[in-house]
Chains A and B, each alone.
Chain A
Amino acid sequence: MCLAIPGKIVSLADDPAHSALIEVAGVHRRVDVSLVEPDGIGPGDWVLIHVGFAMSKIREQDAYEQMSMLKALGETEAAMQEVRGYSTDDAEPPPKERSIP
């Protein structure tokens, strides 16, 4: 319930308003960023996500630490299930995978 999932902003969007495409461990979903917009956000920034809404802007290092803590708590699966569960029908297709040289 109190899961806070770290995600990286890929791009900001106006439709739906106040949303962003975020990436969590390779999964792309659209989340609402209204609550962190006043902090100034852009692609490459990290946020903590709770029930589909970005709650706070965090540093990259804190994002990695949060992810490793979810892992230690045995919550990674629940967190990924939550992220995958955010519906995608209005999310733009994720950027193409980079080919590995």
Chain B
Amino acid sequence: MKYVDEFREPELIARTSEEIRRLVDPRRHYRFMEVCGGHTHAIYRFGLKDLLPPNIELVHGPGCPVCVLPMGRIDDGLSMAASSDVIFTAFGDMMRVPGTHGSPLEYKARGADVRIVYSPADALKLARANPDRQVMFFAIGFETTAPSTALTLMRAKAERIRNFSVFSNHVTIIPAIRAILDSPDMRIDAFIGPGHVSTVIGCRPYEWIARHEGKPIVVSGFEPLDVLQSVAMLLVQLQRGEAKVENQYRRVVPWEGNRAALKAMAEVFTLRSYFEWRGMGFISQSALALSEAYAEWDAEKRFQVPGIRVTDPKAAQCGEVLKGVLKPAQCKLFGKECTPERPIGALMVSSEGSCAAYYQYEYRKSQLVSIPA
């Protein structure tokens, strides 16, 4: 059992936890999906499930951008790193993600010019500083990150920096939620909506989930109290038989989103007709490609990209875990062949991946406990 005084505002936490207990129907089992990987990390780290009644199950969703990227896209991106005039740039999160022939870091060890950047703007800066090289930025992320890539491309265009390009793997959250709701093996009662994605897209795009699917959704902050309050808000809706979009994270998320960000995205990107998600297959209109106006900076047009498709190792059950059908430890490879040190699936790489979070905070703990004294 978790002691609430470990948290900030322990009294409020205790009161909210009590409120949740009062709201649950003991005859019912609840499945709430937290869509965002940041929530998954926080839920494990703070042991929040210990503060919830046992009949509330938190199901981890597809909101970790590194985790949903199929291996073929990593191979495609790394194929560009093979050329000696290319500087391959990506966020640190990408560096250990395995491709068929190794991770970006392993490519670097073999001599490819692979560099970590912390901002797409820094990849552009590298292009300015190396006019005789091609700087390719391997872009990943949901709507939180896509505006930064868009603004960087707008700057590249304005400054006519032609040795810069972007390999866009940006994905959008709404079609992924739709795919989960359409999946026959999923039964989700309500959603804890993503916090930072919503600073960009706002709360309106979720309205169909409430209106047409009849599922409550609460956009939530990341602190323990935020997540608990969101759970309580979902329970109130379910108790009243309501389904609406609520915003628990009002201190950061405006209902209308960030217009400047949406405008930049609309200028630079266009929706792909479909895109492959790891473990979830092809989802229509779920990813962003560069628009015609930015074709010149599109790495997929500048380089010969093989368009590789790689099926995940048969034994790995990333897809089931990603959709919340299986818990991380129920995968056959979990903790054996697949560990954070030697990840097979991407869910084990990022701290926001449910397997890595589960391994770090639950599995290791259970292993320690089982050692006889």
Report which A residues bind B (CB closer than 8 A): 1-2, 4, 16, 31-32, 34-35, 37-38, 48, 50-53, 55-56, 58-59, 62, 65, 68-69, 72-75, 78, 81-83, 85-87, 89
Expressed in whole angstroms, the Cα–Cα distance for A73 and B144 within the complex equals 20
The answer, yes or no, to whether B75 is at the interface (CB within 8 Å) is: no
**B261 with A50: CB separation less than 8 A:** no
A-B pairs with beta carbons under 8 Å apart, 10 shown: A16-B155, A31-B119, A32-B148, A38-B259, A53-B151, A55-B144, A62-B251, A72-B45, A75-B351, A85-B122
Give the top 8 A-B pairs by smallest Cβ distance, nearest first.
Answer: A52-B119, A85-B118, A2-B38, A53-B148, A82-B118, A87-B122, A51-B119, A1-B93
Expressed in whole angstroms, the Cα–Cα distance for A38 and B196 within the complex equals 18
Expressed in whole angstroms, the Cα–Cα distance for A74 and B45 within the complex equals 9
Closest beta carbon of chain B to A31's beta carbon, Å: 8
Expressed in whole angstroms, the Cα–Cα distance for A52 and B58 within the complex equals 32
What residues on A are CB-neighbors of B260 within 8 Å? 34-35, 37-38
Closest beta carbon of chain A to B276's beta carbon, Å: 19
Residue B147 contacts which of A53, A78, A89 (CB distance < 8 angstroms)? A53
Residue B64 contacts which of A1, A62, A72 (CB distance < 8 angstroms)? A1
User: Given that A4-B196, A56-B258, A69-B222 are known contacts, is A51 also in contact with B118, CB under 8 Å in the complex?
Assistant: yes
- Chief secondary structure at chain A's binding surface: mixed
What residues on A are CB-neighbors of B258 within 8 Å? 35, 55-56
- Chain B 114-145 interface 0/1 with A at a Cβ cutoff of 8 Å (1 = within): 00111111100100000000000000110011
User: Given that A2-B196, A55-B199 are known contacts, is A69 also in contact with B37, CB under 8 Å in the complex?
Assistant: no
Range, interface on chain B: 35 or more
**A68 with B8: CB separation less than 8 A:** yes
**A1 with B350: CB separation less than 8 A:** yes
The answer, yes or no, to whether B4 is at the interface (CB within 8 Å) is: no
What residues on B are CB-neighbors of A34 within 8 Å? 151, 260, 264
**A2 with B37: CB separation less than 8 A:** yes
The answer, yes or no, to whether B91 is at the interface (CB within 8 Å) is: yes
Expressed in whole angstroms, the Cα–Cα distance for A1 and B169 within the complex equals 14
> Which residue among A2, A31, A38, A83 has the maximum number of chain B CB atoms within 10 Å of its CB?
A2
The answer, yes or no, to whether B293 is at the interface (CB within 8 Å) is: no
- Chain B 6-23 interface 0/1 with A at a Cβ cutoff of 8 Å (1 = within): 001000000000000000
**A32 with B116: CB separation less than 8 A:** no
**B46 with A72: CB separation less than 8 A:** yes
**B118 with A86: CB separation less than 8 A:** yes
Expressed in whole angstroms, the Cα–Cα distance for A74 and B37 within the complex equals 15
**A58 with B65: CB separation less than 8 A:** no
Expressed in whole angstroms, the Cα–Cα distance for A45 and B41 within the complex equals 28
What would 9 more interface pairs be, CB under 8 Å, given A32-B151, A55-B147? A1-B352, A48-B196, A51-B120, A52-B148, A55-B261, A56-B253, A73-B45, A85-B117, A89-B125
**B147 with A1: CB separation less than 8 A:** no
What residues on B are CB-neighbors of A55 within 8 Å? 144, 147, 196, 199-200, 258, 261
What residues on B are CB-neighbors of A59 within 8 Å? 251
**B144 with A52: CB separation less than 8 A:** no
> Which residue among A1, A73, A82 has the maximum number of chain B CB atoms within 10 Å of its CB?
A1
The answer, yes or no, to whether B186 is at the interface (CB within 8 Å) is: no
Smallest CB gap from B251: residue in A: A62
Expressed in whole angstroms, the Cα–Cα distance for A53 and B119 within the complex equals 8
Smallest CB gap from B145: residue in A: A51
Quick one: which of B90-105 are within 8 Å of A by CB? 91-93
User: Given that A37-B260, A72-B46, A73-B45 are known contacts, is A52 also in contact with B252, CB under 8 Å in the complex?
Assistant: no
Closest beta carbon of chain A to B166's beta carbon, Å: 13
Expressed in whole angstroms, the Cα–Cα distance for A7 and B115 within the complex equals 25
Smallest CB gap from A87: residue in B: B122
What residues on A are CB-neighbors of B91 within 8 Å? 1, 51
